[in-house]
A = this chain, B = another copy of it.
């Protein structure tokens, strides 16, 4: 490791313009360790707007709040780019075991869940320990019943459990519907032991009419497993009354740090402004919009950068991604040379991944050198950039993933518990420092930044 750092340092010192670029980034990085702009944004958005589901009046208020905030921070060209979306709205939601051991269970409907009658529906519960077990079951074992699917998601630093176990939430409702189930409850896709269910969207398969679908909190899911294990028939009454509201307005909020050199290309960063309805969306994703804006402001306040930085706070990430689609459709012909998204809470960054063209290795090396002192090693390779900016990476823009610690993220994700108190101000500042250093380096890089493929 020591040798690597020395070699990096040697390489960097050979070019005065690179050394200057790195020096500025290091200075801004250290100042950012005292940042209070990001926390102020998280506190303000979660307090003064609170939950802000896509397409709701609260999301509209969030856009208005965002415009005021970004203007007050000194950004230029602050504006809303409107879009439209189909809105699903949560209703009443209760579940109770009727027999053999009467008691209430805590549930939350999954996005796009169908509705039960207002008085609920009752049925026998048939349990499966995994999605594969449900898939393997004959239709006759499921028809007319309430399906319960369990699993055992465990915390992972890189958050990869969400992909691995996520199919239970995304696919099981349609599979159960295709087999003739009357409804489905799943163990929440989460890693905590609190009675806060984790909501989230499902993928509605072609030709399927969504059945009532809900997540049980993890203590409730384990309770239902224990009850089923007793071997007696288990009857549940489930009441879910969500509604489809049709098309409603959503939109993205955009702010700029104008650059001096339009030919050098544009940088896109951001997160999403909408949140699920149960919590106040502090970690998902007030933190992400706050981190990216706070970092961009620090670069802006140090003098006009070479490249324009565009901060985008996307609408409707959670239920359909219509905001990111609308933005890509409207802007995909612009010369975007770098993208990065923050949408994994406020806990510390543990690695930075970049995917520059080989010619830009010196820039990647400078990013590595600037982030090492924050405890962030660098890896050159694949970049995803997440739900809102991933399309740009696929279209050939280089980018970066500042990988955040995901150990406790799925304790709170999509639950009522996603609230301000879950944000650790110290770790939030480490994020801002990392983002500031990276943005300063990329925005002011003296060399050209090559796209992976030519701009359209």
Q: A-side interface residues toward B, CB under 8 Å?
A: 43, 46-51, 58, 100-104, 106, 193-196, 218-219, 222-223, 226-227, 230, 279-280, 415-417, 419-422
A116 to chain B minimum Cβ distance, whole angstroms, is 18
Besides A48-B100, A103-B280, 6 new A-B residue pairs in contact (Cβ under 8 A), listed by A number: A47-B226, A49-B103, A193-B422, A218-B421, A219-B421, A223-B280
Copies in the complex: 2
A417 pairs with B48, CB closer than 8 A: no
A280 surroundings in chain B (CB, below 8 A)? 103, 223
The reply to whether A420 and B196 form a contact with Cβ atoms under 8 Å apart is no
**Distance A19 CA – B366 CA, assembled complex (angstroms):** 75
Contact B51 A103 (CB under 8 A): yes
CB of A33 to closest CB in B, whole Å: 25
Contact assessment for B419 and A223 in the assembled complex, using a CB-CB cutoff below 8 Å: yes
- Check A419 against B195 for contact (C-beta < 8 Å): yes
User: 8 A-B pairs, CB-CB below 8 angstroms?
Assistant: A47-B223, A47-B227, A51-B104, A106-B416, A193-B422, A194-B194, A195-B419, A226-B420
Complex contact A195–B103 (CB within 8 A): no
Nearest CB in chain B to that of A225: its residue: B47
A416 near B195 (CB under 8 angstroms)? yes
Which chain B residues lie closer than 8 Å to A230 at the CB level? 47-48
Name A420's contact: one of B58, B103, B223, B415 (CB within 8 Å): B223
- For A218, the chain B residues whose CB sits under 8 A away are 421
A51→B97 CA distance, assembly (Å): 12
Q: Please judge, given known A-B contacts A50-B101, A101-B48, A103-B50, whether A226 and B196 are in contact too, CB under 8 Å.
A: no
A420 with B47, Cβ < 8 A, contacts A58-B103, A102-B58, A196-B194 known: no
CB of A438 to closest CB in B, whole Å: 31
Report chain B residues within 8 Å CB of A222: 420-421
User: Chain B residues near A420 (CB, 8 Å)?
Assistant: 219, 222-223, 226
Q: How far is the CB of A199 from chain B (nearest CB, A)?
A: 14
- Whole-angstrom distance between the Cβ of A450 and the nearest chain B Cβ: 46
Residues of B within 8 A of A47 (CB): 101, 223, 226-227, 230
A216 to chain B, nearest CB (A): 12
* A422 CB to nearest chain B CB (Å): 7
Residues of chain B lying within 8 A (CB to CB) of residue A279: 195
Q: Quick one: closest B residue to A106, CB to CB?
A: B416
The answer to whether A226 and B43 have CB atoms under 8 Å apart is yes
List of 3 A-B pairs having minimum Cβ-Cβ separation, nearest first? A50-B103, A195-B416, A219-B419
Instruction: Give Cα distance in the complex from A421 to B419, angstroms.
Output: 23
